[in-house]
Structure 1
Amino acid sequence: MRDERVLVTGGTGFIAQHCIIALLRDGYQVRTTVRSLSREAEVRQQLKTGGVEAGERLSFVVADLAADDGWHEAAAGCTYVLHGASPTPTGDKAGEDDWVRPAVEGNLRVLRAARAAGVRRVVLTSAFGAICAGHRKPEHRPFDETDWSDLTGDVWLYQKSKTLSERAAWNFIDREGGDLELSAINPVAVVGPALGKDYSHSIRLIKNLMDGQPGSPKVNCGFVDVRDVADLHVLAMTHPAAKGERFLAISGDSLWMADVARVLRERMGAAASKVPTRVLPNWLIRLGALKDPTMRGVVPLLGLDMNATGEKARRLLGWTPRPREEAIVAAAESLVRLGLLKETA
């Protein structure tokens, strides 16, 4: 067992739990934050589903991004911090103050605690949403780490919160970080194996297809396996070349949702019997968005090429992600295995 302890924030999160699994398998001691210790048993069970008995190598501490309490205790004695916890307000009434301010203040709260505790490096889980959004005239080239979302364009509050909170983290390091180092990971749609009912929004895309949604919108998306995202966090945590860098996490080129549906039909057999073959016309999506708030965010993405490159992580860190098709199928298989799909009537 290594002597080094790593703090992973937001231990109930999908990416966070896979990061904990990767760290425990590498021999690290891990501490994770939860908003209530009542979630500890659930987290341990989901880690077990992922193949790891955490035992005493994993400890829990209560801390909330909205308050200072618990963060200095959480960071104390840790060599590294993987910070993926982020506020996710719910409901149609959630506004900018619900999304942006908590994300920015949460990042700064964690960074201050890490600096005070003498942490060596923080790896921030940012998002592709901090890179790809709001560009009025997308150039015909893959997005890369030099791109930042244009907040004067058409962006969701989620994308705005991710952009401003990541910028706030880099500004903190530049101005008052001291010896604290920072790396950022910007994943595209994160799929791969779910560990329980709490999984990524991206896996919901797979679930909706498997459950038989009416068709596939003309939306383009990059995909990456959560296990590879976790591996990239661990690489960025220790690799000298990762200091001060952001890394886009994507496996291969992006896919249209119709391509994702085809992968599922080809690879999942009878379990994919309800996956649609139809491509939904753009006008139908726009019409549906007038009544369904969950569809409104799709409208600005219709027809846009959202391809990106993970070349930097491969070149600098030696990152080797699984094929995108394998990640998509792993998500679908886990939904079947855990009984999370709608039952056929």
Structure 2
Amino acid sequence: MTGELVLITGGTGLIGIKTLHTALKAGYSVRAAVRSQEKANAVLATPTVKALNPGDKLTFVIVPNILAENAYDEAVKGVKYILHIASPVIKGEGFTPDQYETHLIEPAIKGTTSILNAAYKTPGIKRLVITSSEVAIVPWADFIANEVDTVFDDTYEIPFPVGPYSHPFEAYSASKVRALVATKDFIKEKKPEWDVINIMPSFVIGDNEMITDPKLISDGTVSAAFAQVLGGDSGWGAVPSTSIHVADIARLHVDALDPKIEGNQSFLAVSEGERGTRWEEAIEIVNRNFPEAVKKGVLPNNGTASTKRTKIDSSRTEKVFGFKFQSYEEQVKSVVKQYLTLVGEPIA
């Protein structure tokens, strides 16, 4: 199995770059779909890629517009597996209501159906692994607002969400539900020779080698944990109590290529069991593990965060894949270590 060619889309994002590194370490050859040569150069410049020195085991294909018709048709030729990680995300500036459909929902569905159609036209592919999300199967209101006693697991299904949407994150959630539905419908209708596994992360926290500017360390979901360490507020409000280490998500994507894992399944990825993450605990974690950086003021560690209880059980994923997810403490520590390295401070 190892040595075979894997196409990775979205390989320059938080999950993507860690998955690319993990696939190379596992012995796969990787073809990364990137938007430009500049992005390819940035991947090659990451410390892990430099250390691995993969040579021709890492190649690139330029896909400037993933929403174009037949965008991935050339990219999939000759590959055995596809890790489809590329998808719209909510950036710091957010989106206006009139952009929800065009900037979040349509691209998520189009990107997914595009890679499915490209694979369908290409012989020899064995499996697709798609990055979905916990919000694809957890109702929006229960995830972000209501505190219910329901323990959600990967057998849970929710109705097709219909707008208008009250918040960009609600629209993002709808995009994940609709992309998942589109995938299931495709499999049911086309009956391809390959199968699909959906990986459903929670808030992904961890180091990101594509970030070289310490001012950008708290980008995206990482801010839920790390903004408070830098003395600020994540801007998320009370965050659902669900997180996962980026390294665990990368491992799930790569391990899911193993034929021993039965296909056409979805797997949730949330650490800390039903108790989940308590976001404000990052302050104590940093005080205990990096006291000198706090004392010097490199890590102000005096910001605020709050947690909204959301019960999710992903124990089946840990059982099927045979490893336990890393704790919130390890998630926070990985980001702090990267930050200290970027600002030239010792890690102690």
Aligning the two structures, in what range does the TM-score lie when normalised by the shorter sequence? 0.7 to 0.9
Deviation at 1:106, TM superposition (A): 0.8
| SS of alignment partner, residue 122 of structure 1 | strand
The aligned residue for residue 136 of structure 2 is 130
Deviation at 1:40, TM superposition (A): 1.2
The aligned residue for residue 334 of structure 2 is 330
Deviation at 1:4, TM superposition (A): 1.0
| SS of alignment partner, residue 255 of structure 1 | coil
Contact 1:34 1:62 in 2 (8 A): yes
Contact 2:280 2:305 in 1 (8 A): yes
> What are the within-5 Å matches in structure 2 for residues 33-182 of structure 1?
33-46=33-46, 48=48, 51-63=51-63, 64-88=65-89, 91=93, 92-93=95-96, 94-118=99-123, 119-136=125-142, 138-148=147-157, 151=161, 156-182=170-196
Q: Distance in 1 between matches of 2:109 and 2:47?
A: 29
Q: CA separation of 1:141/1:265 partners in 2, compared to 1, >3 Å: closer, same or farther?
A: farther
Q: CA separation of 1:87/1:336 partners in 2, compared to 1, >3 Å: closer, same or farther?
A: same
Deviation at 1:205, TM superposition (A): 2.5
The aligned residue for residue 270 of structure 1 is 292
Contact 1:7 1:81 in 2 (8 A): yes
The aligned residue for residue 310 of structure 2 is 306
The structure carrying a bigger helix percent of its residues is 1
| SS of alignment partner, residue 117 of structure 2 | helix
- Taking only aligned residues, the RMSD between alpha carbons, in angstroms, comes to 2.8
Q: Distance in 2 between matches of 1:139 and 1:42?
A: 43
The aligned residue for residue 300 of structure 1 is none
Q: Distance in 2 between matches of 1:17 and 1:239?
A: 23
Q: Distance in 2 between matches of 1:270 and 1:178?
A: 56
TM-score (norm 1): 0.83
Contact 1:83 1:124 in 2 (8 A): yes
- CA shift digits 1:54-99 (9 cap, x unpaired): 3211111012321135512111111110000013476543332221
Q: Distance in 1 between matches of 2:81 and 2:172?
A: 26
One-letter amino acid matched to 2:282: V
Matched, 1:213 2:232: yes
TM-score (norm 2): 0.82
Deviation at 1:263, TM superposition (A): 1.9
Contact 1:9 1:32 in 2 (8 A): yes
One-letter amino acid matched to 2:69: D
> What are the within-5 Å matches in structure 2 for residues 214-233 of structure 1?
218-233=238-253
The aligned residue for residue 256 of structure 1 is 278
Q: Distance in 1 between matches of 2:74 and 2:174?
A: 30
The aligned residue for residue 241 of structure 1 is 261
Deviation at 1:215, TM superposition (A): 8.9
Does 101-110 or 85-94 show the bigger shift? 85-94
Deviation at 1:274, TM superposition (A): 1.6
The aligned residue for residue 292 of structure 1 is none
Q: Distance in 2 between matches of 1:50 and 1:145?
A: 37
Q: Distance in 1 between matches of 2:36 and 2:151?
A: 41
Q: Distance in 1 between matches of 2:18 and 2:50?
A: 8
Contact 1:62 1:70 in 2 (8 A): no
Match of 1:184 among 191, 198, 213: 198
One-letter amino acid matched to 2:153: D
| SS of alignment partner, residue 81 of structure 1 | strand
One-letter amino acid matched to 1:241: I
One-letter amino acid matched to 1:264: V
One-letter amino acid matched to 2:228: L
Structure 1 unaligned regions, length at least 5: 281-302
Contact 1:194 1:335 in 2 (8 A): no
Deviation at 1:49, TM superposition (A): 6.6
Contact 2:136 2:177 in 1 (8 A): yes
The aligned residue for residue 222 of structure 2 is 203
Matched, 1:9 2:9: yes
Q: Distance in 1 between matches of 2:100 and 2:301?
A: 34
Structure 2 unaligned regions, length at least 5: none
| SS of alignment partner, residue 185 of structure 2 | helix
Count of residue pairs brought into register by the alignment: 319
Does 91-100 or 71-80 show the bigger shift? 91-100
Q: Distance in 1 between matches of 2:233 and 2:31?
A: 43
